[in-house]
C-alpha cells in the first residue's frame, strides 16, 4: 500500500508539472522549465552525494561545460539538438573523467576542496574565453531544434521536451541505483574496505558514478544554454555548486526525486523573497544554517511521510552524512 501511495504522489506531481503550460502564462512555463533544468543538475549531485557518499562542491563546472559546449556548437552553426546535446554530454563526461580520476584519489574534506578547486579552474577558463564574451558570456543565435521533428522555439514545446528528458534521466538514474552497480556504489559509501575485500574496486566504481553524474549535469547545462539562449561563466561559479548542494539538501538526499523537489522549493523561494527584497541572500543564508542545524530531514522526506508513503527504512534521509566516517573520525567519543 505504501508503494501505491508513493506512485500516487509521483503521478500527482507529474500531472502538476504537465499542467503548468495550461495556465496560459508563458512566465510560469519558463519558470517551470528552469525548475526542471536545475532539478536535473541537482539530481546529478544527489547521485554522488546520496548514493556514492561523495560530497562534491564542483558540480557547477559540469553544468557549465555542458552549457558552453552547447553554446559554442550553436555559435559554430550546429543547430541540430540530436548532435549538439549528445556532444555536450560527451565533452562533459570527458572532463568529469579527468577531474574525477584526480579528485577521487582523495576523500572527505580534501575531496570537497579538490572538486571546488577544479570547478574554479574551469570557471577561470570560461572567464578567459575572450571570443566568447569572457566574463560577460555570450548569446546563442537561437535554440537548437530536434531535426526533422520539432523546432524548440516555442516555450511550451521546449518545456515538454525538457520535462520528458528529466523524467527519462530520473527513470534511468532510479534503475541505475537499484542495479548491481548501484548496490556496489552504496556499498562503497558504507564501507569501502569491505567492498574491496569482496572484489569490487571502489575507485573504479566511484569514477564511473562521477562520470555519469557529470554527463547528467552536462545535459542539464546544454538545456540551460537553450533555455536562456545565453551562457556566461556565472553558471559555473562556486555559488552555483553550493546552490545545487543546497537544493539536494532542501529536498532529501538519496532519493533522486527529492532534489528535483528541492530545486522547485529553492527557486520558488528565491522568486518570492526577491519580490520583497533585493537582498534575499541575507535571509537565505541564515535559513540554510537553520536547516542544517535544526531540521534533520529534507522536505521531500517530510512530504512523503505526511502523505503516508514512507519507503522501507533502507534509505534514511540523512544517509549522506554517514558516508564519511573517516573524515569525521573522532566524532562520537562520548558526547559532550
Partner 1 sequence: MTWSLLIEQSFNGLQLGLMLFLMAVGVTLVFGIMRVINLAHGSMFMIGGYALVATFAATRSYWLAVPLALVAVLIVAAILEILVLRPLYKRELLDQVLATFGLTLFFNELVVVIWGRIPLNLTIPAFLDGHVEIFPGIAYPVYRLAITAVAVVVGVMLFWLITRTRLGALIRAGSDKREIVEALGVNIGLLYTLIFGLGAALAGLAGMMTGPLLSIESGMGDPILILTLVVIVIGGVGSVRGALVGGLLVGLFDTFSRVLIPQFFGVGAGSALVGMAVYVLMAIVLVFSRTGLFAAHRG
DSSP secondary structure, 153-217, as one string: -SHHHHHHHHHHHHHHHHHHHHHHHHSHHHHHHHHHHH-HHHHHHTT--HHHHHHHHHHHHHHHH
Q: Is there a contact between 152 and 226 (Cβ–Cβ < 8 Å)?
A: yes
User: Which grid coordinates are listed for 95?
Assistant: 572532463
Separation of CA 139 from chain center: 24
Q: Is 110 in the site for partner 1 (CB under 8 A)?
A: yes
List the interface residues with partner 1, window 138-167 (CB under 8 A). none
User: Which grid coordinates are listed for 292?
Assistant: 542544517
- Burial of 178 (C-beta count, 10 Å sphere; 0-12/13-18/19+): exposed
Q: Is 117 in the site for partner 1 (CB under 8 A)?
A: yes
Give min distance, CB of 303 to partner 1, in A.
Answer: 20
Q: What are the respective helix, strand and coil percentages of the chain, to the nearest 5?
A: 75, 5, 25
List the interface residues with partner 1, window 48-67 (CB under 8 A). 49, 55, 57
* Binder of partner 1 out of 168, 268, 292, 295 (CB under 8 A): 292
Q: Is 235 in the site for partner 1 (CB under 8 A)?
A: no
Q: Is 127 in the site for partner 1 (CB under 8 A)?
A: yes
Q: Which stretch binds partner 1 (CB under 8 A): 71-79, 116-124, 159-167, 256-264?
A: 116-124
Q: Is 321 in the site for partner 1 (CB under 8 A)?
A: yes
* Binder of partner 1 out of 249, 260, 299, 304 (CB under 8 A): 249
CA nearest to 163, candidates 245, 71, 260 = 260
Phi/psi at 138 (5° precision): -145, 155
Q: Which stretch binds partner 1 (CB under 8 A): 81-89, 121-129, 159-167, 303-311?
A: 121-129
Residues that bind partner 1 (CB under 8 A): 49, 55, 57, 102, 105-106, 108-110, 112-114, 116-118, 120-121, 124-125, 127-130, 238-239, 242, 245-246, 249, 253, 279, 281-282, 284-289, 291-293, 320-324, 326-334
Amino acid at each position: 500500500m505504501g508503494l501505491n501511495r508513493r506512485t500516487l504522489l509521483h503521478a500527482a506531481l507529474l500531472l502538476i508539472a504537465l499542467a503548468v503550460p495550461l495556465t496560459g502564462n508563458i512566465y510560469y512555463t519558463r519558470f517551470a522549465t528552469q525548475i526542471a533544468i536545475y532539478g536535473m543538475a541537482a539530481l546529478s549531485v544527489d547521485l554522488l552525494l546520496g548514493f556514492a557518499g561523495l560530497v562534491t562542491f564542483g558540480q557547477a563546472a559540469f553544468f557549465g561545460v555542458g552549457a558552453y559546449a552547447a553554446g559554442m556548437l550553436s555559435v559554430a552553426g550546429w543547430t541540430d539538438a540530436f548532435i549538439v546535446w549528445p556532444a555536450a554530454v560527451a565533452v562533459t563526461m570527458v572532463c568529469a573523467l579527468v577531474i574525477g580520476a584526480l579528485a577521487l584519489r582523495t576523500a572527505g574534506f580534501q575531496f570537497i576542496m579538490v572538486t571546488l578547486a577544479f570547478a574554479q579552474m574551469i570557471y577561470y577558463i570560461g572567464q578567459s574565453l575572450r571570443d566568447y564574451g569572457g566574463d560577460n558570456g555570450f548569446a546563442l543565435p537561437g535554440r537548437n531544434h530536434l531535426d526533422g521533428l520539432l523546432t524548440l522555439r516555442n516555450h511550451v514545446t521546449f518545456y515538454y521536451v525538457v520535462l520528458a528528458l528529466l523524467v527519462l534521466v530520473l527513470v534511468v538514474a532510479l534503475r541505475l541505483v537499484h542495479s548491481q552497480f548501484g548496490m556496489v556504489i552504496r556499498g562503497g559509501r558504507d564501507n569501502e574496505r569491505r567492498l574491496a575485500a569482496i572484489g569490487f574496486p571502489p575507485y573504479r566504481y566511484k569514477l564511473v558514478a562521477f562520470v555519469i553524474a557529470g554527463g547528467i549535469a552536462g545535459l542539464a547545462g546544454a538545456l540551460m544554454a537553450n533555455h536562456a539562449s545565453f551562457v556566461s561563466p556565472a553558471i559555473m561559479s562556486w555559488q552555483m555548486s553550493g546552490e545545487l548542494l543546497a537544493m539536494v539538501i532542501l529536498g532529501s538526499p538519496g532519493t533522486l526525486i527529492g532534489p528535483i523537489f528541492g530545486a522547485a522549493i529553492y527557486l520558488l523561494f528565491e522568486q518570492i523573497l526577491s519580490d520583497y527584497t533585493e537582498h534575499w541572500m541575507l535571509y537565505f543564508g541564515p535559513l540554510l544554517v537553520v536547516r542544517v542545524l535544526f531540521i534533520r530531514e529534507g522536505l521531500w522526506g517530510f512530504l512523503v511521510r505526511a502523505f503516508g508513503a514512507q519507503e522501507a527504512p533502507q534509505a534514511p534521509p540523512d544517509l549522506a552524512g554517514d558516508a564519511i566516517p573517516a573524515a569525521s573520525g573522532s566524532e562520537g567519543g562520548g558526547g559532550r
